[in-house]
Amino acid sequence: MTRGPDDRKDEENMNFVGIDIGSTASKVSVRGDKEINYVLPTGWSSKETAGTIKEKLLEEGVDVEAEDTKVVATGYGRIAVDYADYVITEITCHARGGREFAGNDCAVIDVGGQDTKVIILEDGMVKDFLMNDKCSAGTGKFLEIMANRLGVTLQELFEMADRGNILSISSLCTVFAESEVINYIGEGKPREDIAAGVVDSVAAKVAQLAQRKDLPEKIILTGGLSKSRYFTAQLSDKLGRTVEPTEMGRYAGAIGAAKLAEEKSRKRR
Amino acid sequence: MEVIKDLPEVFEEFAEQRKKSFLAVKELKDKGVPVVGAYCTYFPQEIAMAMGAATVGLCSTSDETISVAEKDLPKNLCPLIKSSYGFAVTDKCPFFYFSDVVVGETTCDGKKKMYEYMSEFKDVFLMELPNTQGEQAFQLWKSEIIRFKEYLEKKFDVEITEDQIRNAIKINNAGRRSLRRLYEVMHHDPAPITGHDLFKVLYGSTFKFDRSQIPAEVDALVDKIEKEYAEGKMQEKKPRILVTGCPIGGATEKVIQAIENNGGIVVTYENCTGAKSIDKLVDEDNPDVYDALARRYLDIGCSVMAPNPNRLELLGRLIDEYQVDGVVEMILQACHTYNVESTGIRRFVNEKKNIPYIGVETDYSQADIGQLNTRIAAFIEML
């Protein structure tokens, strides 16, 4: 299909919106005429969050209902986005986002709020993927619970962990692991050491999942923890492979969704 | 006068067959017809049919009685075994209730140990199924089939003749031929019907007590499907999925739905509800009926066999025949044999057949519907 100059002009005004409604945070990425990225807490209702996103985008001059705006929704709350033009799973969107960060052949490890996934890309396509089972160990939720227990933010947890010596947390279950942490607190162990143990435990579980696949040379981390060099260092250590942090990794799903919106709308022309 | 029904109505009728048979089994009992219950595809149905008994599958498919079963059985046991035991011990399954004898086989570890407890409150006839398929194993299985015949003769004070068995073999083969014709309608691309509708007929037909009625009913259905297909009635073109793994039914139909609600279509079932129990016929020309039965049943490619080459043979054949785009394996939680075998299946599908594979582990609860949908939708997106 050949495109004339008029089409190109149309496309200049188009906006491609990716909305990734996760269990903890919702990420929005707009590409095209406008370039916007922002994140907001998902809250208790994905539907309400989807409404808030719509209003916020309108304030920025992006009307999701407009003919020249294409929306792809993803994440566990994807079906709540009733104004989406397409609904695509977070696996495909994260893979597409990962491609923007690391090229066509890579592995994307995404540590999310309620699940952790490992996606293998080959020639820009998803070749294989794996998600954790119905258990919060090795997810952001685990870190969140432990940070709360230690009375610190996630950011502080990583900073503390960097200064501490790892205390072993052996339980596979978040609830039991929390008891272990409470025990350590009771014994008066330094918070830094407990924090180091918590991060170590998550890194170990994520590595365990990732090891089940043949990983390519290039491996990146996405999701809420993707900027943390401490976490990627721990993960690299466990895997015996380099896992690179990504500056915009939190938006991997949303950016991927926006790219897919663009590709899908091109295909239809 | 025959009423011509629409296809959806026919599919629903088959889906209701299990419930309808609750009444039918009582009527049979009132007429004095013996009922033989079984849990497995290895059960040589023809022996029971030969003495005029009705046979019925007892595998339970809902999580209703699992908590009761967990009083006696461990929590981390396959839901099919727990649920089946639970329905038995609470007397909630009419088929179990009306069964004069329940036939079990030494298939997987969970089932064979469960039968020990079941035999405390029910007549259980346990057949020793070998877990290999060589000549010695075959001899053992053949002698077990003869032992089962002798057990029935004694228990019901009847004589089971070879001619009766031969007749039962013919009836069951005819049923298998028709059911195979039915699932072969999925050779068409795009498919004529949904995989879930196909499943309803395959599953429902196992609850028809009069096996001799199957061909007429199923053949009429096939003709109708083919006629409508020729007239242009068909499904949209979608990625074609083969389903393999543990038996599916009831609660686990969620896997079929997850595939078909997320853009795929199930074109063939390699599992016990599908080709695994229908594909092979019993040799009608073999003068030794026990020999013929033993060969046919022992050859079933279930993961309890080690090694299990027949599963790969059937799987490979179905992938080619049905132009399959991707394989979904459903594994019940704590089903060790299927779970362990899944690595080999993945390798075979990826490396020998060069198509994608996904394994999903699930149970009889509805708690993982969201995760199932995400995994399977992502799998279909990558096809």
CATH number of domain containing B26: 3.40.50.11890
Choose the mutation target among B368, B382, B383 for the interface with A, i.e. most A CBs under 10 Å.
B382
Has residue A220 been placed in a domain? no
Give the number of domains in chain B: 1
CA A92 – CA B377 distance, rounded (Å): 9
Q: SS3 for B283?
A: coil
Test the A interface: residue of B339, B363, B366, B371 with most A CBs within 10 Å: B371
Q: Are B227 and B186 in contact (CB under 8 A)?
A: no
Residue B174: half-sphere exposure toward Cβ, Cα within 13 Å: 15
Residue B132 lies in a domain: yes
Residue A231: predicted pLDDT: 95
Alpha carbon of B49 to those of A119, B122, B164: distances in Å?
Answer: 52, 21, 8
Contact in structure between A112 and A21 (CB atoms under 8 Å): no
Q: Is the dihedral of CA B12, B18, B19, B24 positive or negative?
A: positive
Q: What is the mean pLDDT of residues B234-262?
A: 97
Instruction: For residue A92, give how far its alpha carbon lies from the nearest alpha carbon of chain B (Å).
Output: 6
Nearest chain A residue to B355 by CA distance is A127
Asked if A89 lies within 8 A of B367 by C-beta distance, the reply is no
ipTM surpassing 0.85: yes
| B contacts of A134 (beta carbons < 8 Å) | 367-368, 371
Cβ pair B374:A131 closer than 8 A: yes
Contact B141, B133 (CB under 8 A): no
Nearest to A127 by CA among A158, A166, A167, A98: A98
Residue B206 corresponds to which tokens in the numbers above? 């196992």
pTM score of the predicted model: 0.93
Both tokens of residue B196? 């879930």
Among A86, A89, A264, the strongest candidate for a mutation testing the B interface, having the largest count of B CBs within 10 A, is A89
d(C-alpha B32, C-alpha A220), whole Å: 69
Q: Which residues of B touch A131 (CB under 8 A)?
A: 371, 374-375
From B356, B370, B382, residue closest to A92, measured CB to CB: B382
Q: Please check whether residue A134 lies inside any domain of the structure.
A: no
The answer to whether position B87 is within a domain reads yes
If one compares A134 and B189, the residue with the highest pLDDT of the two is: B189
* Beta-sheet strand order (sheet of B357-362): B265-269, B240-245, B326-332, B357-362
User: Which regions of chain A are under pLDDT 70?
Assistant: 1-12, 134, 269
Q: Is A126 on the interface with B (CB under 8 A)?
A: yes
Both tokens of B373, joined, read: 């949908």
Interface check for A115 against chain B (CB to CB < 8 A): the answer is yes
Among chain B residues, the shortest Cα distance to A128 is held by B356
A89 contacts B370? CB cut-off 8 A = no
The mean pLDDT value for B276-304 works out to 97
- Under an 8 A CB cutoff, do B382 and A129 touch? yes
Return the CATH number at A261: 3.30.420.40
Residue A35: domain span = 5-91+252-268
Note the pLDDT tens digit of each residue in B24-78.
Answer: 999 999 999 999 999 999 999 999 999 999 999 998 999 999 999 999 999 999 9
Domain that holds residue B45: 7-161
Q: Which of B361, B368, B370 sits opposite A76 (nearest CB)?
A: B370
Q: What percent of chain B has pLDDT over 70?
A: 99
Q: Is residue A49 part of a domain?
A: yes
Of A90, A125, A127, nearest to B374 by CB-CB distance is A90
Residues of A in contact with B368 (CB under 8 A): 134
- What is the average per-residue pLDDT within B221-236? 97
Contacts of B378 in chain A (CB under 8 A): 89-92, 126, 129
Domain-embedded: residue B54: yes
Task: Let me know if residue A57 belongs to a domain.
Answer: yes
Has residue B2 been placed in a domain? no
Q: Helix/strand/coil (H, E, C) string of B174-227?
A: HHHHHHHHHHHHHHCCCCCCCHHHHHHHHHHHCCCCCHHHHHHHHHHHHHHHHH
Please tell me the predicted confidence (pLDDT) of residue A224: 87
Please state the domain count of chain A: 1
Q: Is residue A186 part of a domain?
A: no
A269 and chain B: CB distance < 8 Å anywhere?
no
Instruction: For residue A17, tell me if it sits in a domain.
Output: yes
Within a domain: B220:
no
**In this structure, what are the phi and psi dihedrals at residue B36, rounded to the nearest 5 degrees?**
-115, 120
Mean pLDDT of B213-219: 96
B378 vs chain A: nearest CA distance in angstroms?
6
Closest CA–CA distance from residue B359 to any residue of chain A (Å) = 10
Structure tokens at B225: 């499907």
**Interchain pair B378, A125: CB under 8 A:** no
Element (H, E) at A19: strand A15-21
Better-scored residue on pLDDT, A23 or B360: B360
Number of H helices, E strands in chain B: 17, 8
pLDDT of residue B382: 92
B244 beta partners: B329
Facing B377 at nearest CB: one of A89, A115, A125: A89
Q: What is the pLDDT of residue A266?
A: 85
